[in-house]
Structure 1
């Protein structure tokens, strides 16, 4: 059959790619953003891209997908009547003791539907490669049995000890933590963000682990030169305990009287928002510390602020930090924060704060030093763009294609 002039001509090199993530709807985290930006870039290169999630919320992603990227939710957006009736029983079952036999029942209740539905979907769409983003999706990808060959990829987005051993992340059961690592043997390629994360994996997995950093969009030199920096410090990240926004507010309370013309703007949403609001009121910092929520125009704040404060406990490859560096913004974070301490050079592109002693006081001193020294801020900020130049988007997407389709 001949194609009409208007019929699309398929690129014979195009591949069918399936990204898998458990929850995506209206989530604005770094991993979700990386997934969508990578999916969009691969779609623009001619590949057939689908993003698969498994969640009840029937709303679109926070970040926009490119035309042609397919979104598939394996779970019904609304629970049926009988599932609503069973919900209290499932919740009670999830509180069973973390002991043998009980743990298997609870694990299947929490995770079984995801990988079984994913298995049926992959058998139907038959992708060339499937990429699990973060442990719940990676486990589902590893468990899904298909009747066609496909490459299975794990995309990791944090320090591995956090993803595999921290009971506060993902499924808290000991059984799930053991299975997360054991199931990596069923994965063909494991993408990690930094070289030290590769070294963490056991010897039997080392040859599958590749370093694949997040992409960082460069800022044009003329845009950087035209930027006008005000007396504003910004902090960007989910409002969760691990980001230590509460500690940052404590630090700011030590600086507020000395620097009355400075403001701290915190961007993000999350479970401790009300707690942070109450803390700001208790410290009398209304109007000095401002919770900005989610902002689609965050890029302009990187160009008009003077410092990025990032006091997180740990990170994988923090987008807020790399975007600040690309925007000529000096970064202040802790010396023991994984990811950040690899990207920020103390005294070159920012300040790495001592973890010894009173963290809030140490952080306040580091911020105060930069707030009083405009020349230091400028010199530290000037070093940022070149420090992240190796992570330009085209270079990173080339690395993705090599991992997905190479040997």
Structure 2
């Protein structure tokens, strides 16, 4: 039995979490999985796993020496054969920092493009590449995501799966009184950009009174209320409906005629694949890396070639597809053909090869016997110290520090907390 420890910053119903659930459910029984997350227990919003899978909810932020040692102790107590770090944020560096001198091979699995993950490191490529280099193997979703890797021989490419759903959308409903545009994603206006979708729809709502827009998702960051407010402000309550997260994804998707996905960036966009698996044509932005690897413009959907917040162009793309029943039918057929390239079997076999290769490195792994120079490099670069210095000079951080200084100087902490609570509501 090979013991696999998977570290993920979050454990909620999201893309990375669904992939972990797929791995655990479908991998060979010679693998035993444990999950370590910095999230909190929330059964309603977390995937159910087999009873033998242990989940540890622990917090290691801020990543002080004390928390680093706590994480190190947790890893030693779990005693895995292989550690897999899944993510696309700065958090991917923690496991490496806590595992120096331990005999556990590390696989860093990045779930976004090089460009997008670098933003989370404020484009400090020394820090970013040092974190990658500390791993024994690196995993990416698409080969194009590894173009800037400094050490490509350690990179393994395994694409995410698209599971066929037992539903089919009817994108052409001549007798239907209402046709639907479906959107499913957590409410996150910075990444998923539901506000762009609502504003885009508002520009053509009167032209298409027989169409509705339905949005579904978990409210991770308080964006759901903002979308509800925007719908009310734009007087769209009769055509735009804002829902909570759902379990029956396939059933909901099958009620639609178009899937709209205006994300600014994605690693893959699992829900886009799910939409295609029921035969929905997709409208998305051409510059959304990951999604633009699945959606082929003019074949199974429309990729909008404009800025990532261009409501006019996104609205025009929706309008064209809403107005063209034959094009929706054509794209629907092609969408169903597309998913054959993303099979679950390829995903599982690819990851099992990664597990086995990493296991062969146990006791010979990179972090077990570091030289003094390498140790110093880990302490300075992979620790994020240089990154923190860069971050402290970013405009956002400078403004934040100035505001905080003024609040403390004028003793306005209570007022600031009151305003913050009112704003969050």
Flag the structure with more relative contact order, 1 or 2, with Cα contacts below 8 A and sequence separation at least 6: 2
Q: CA deviation at 1:257?
A: 0.7
CA 1:145/1:334 → structure 2, altered by over 3 Å: closer, same or farther? closer
Q: Deviations over 1:355-404 (max 9, x none)?
A: 06982111111111111111110110111122121221122111000011
Provide the C-alpha distance between the structure 2 equivalents of 1:238 and 1:209, rounded to a whole number of angstroms.
30
Q: TM-score normalized by structure 1? A: 0.79
Correspondences of 1:136-175 after superposition (within 5 Å): 136-145=90-99, 149-166=103-120
Equivalent position of 1:80 in the other structure = none
Provide the C-alpha distance between the structure 2 equivalents of 1:328 and 1:335, rounded to a whole number of angstroms.
20
In structure 1, which of residues 2, 5, 17 is the aligned counterpart of residue 4 of structure 2? 17
Equivalent position of 1:67 in the other structure = 51
Q: Deviations over 1:49-77 (max 9, x none)?
A: 1011134x34346111123211112349x
1:22, 1:136 within 8 Å by CA — same for their partners in 2? no
State the SS of the aligned residue for 1:133.
Answer: strand
1:123, 1:146 within 8 Å by CA — same for their partners in 2? no
Superposition RMSD in Å: 2.5
Structure 1: runs of 5 or more not aligned: 1-13, 77-107
Q: Deviations over 1:111-131 (max 9, x none)?
A: 545542221122223211111
Q: CA deviation at 1:41?
A: 2.5
Equivalent position of 1:390 in the other structure = 341
Provide the C-alpha distance between the structure 1 equivalents of 2:226 and 2:165, rounded to a whole number of angstroms.
35
1:224 aligned to 2:168? yes
Q: CA deviation at 1:224?
A: 3.1
1:123 aligned to 2:110? no
In structure 1, which of residues 46, 50, 65 is the aligned counterpart of residue 34 of structure 2? 50
Provide the C-alpha distance between the structure 2 equivalents of 1:383 and 1:393, rounded to a whole number of angstroms.
19
Alignment: residue pair count: 349
CA 1:283/1:198 → structure 2, altered by over 3 Å: closer, same or farther? same
Provide the C-alpha distance between the structure 2 equivalents of 1:260 and 1:279, rounded to a whole number of angstroms.
19
Provide the C-alpha distance between the structure 2 equivalents of 1:224 and 1:182, rounded to a whole number of angstroms.
46
State the SS of the aligned residue for 1:233.
Answer: strand
2:231, 2:237 within 8 Å by CA — same for their partners in 1? yes
Structure 2: runs of 5 or more not aligned: 361-425
Q: Deviations over 1:170-222 (max 9, x none)?
A: xx7x88x75343122110111111111011212xx2111111111211245xx
1:326, 1:388 within 8 Å by CA — same for their partners in 2? yes
Provide the C-alpha distance between the structure 2 equivalents of 1:198 and 1:320, rounded to a whole number of angstroms.
23
Q: CA deviation at 1:226?
A: 8.0
Correspondences of 1:226-265 after superposition (within 5 Å): 231-240=179-188, 241-265=190-214
Correspondences of 1:175-254 after superposition (within 5 Å): 178-202=126-150, 205-219=151-165, 223-224=167-168, 231-240=179-188, 241-254=190-203
Q: TM-score normalized by structure 2? A: 0.76
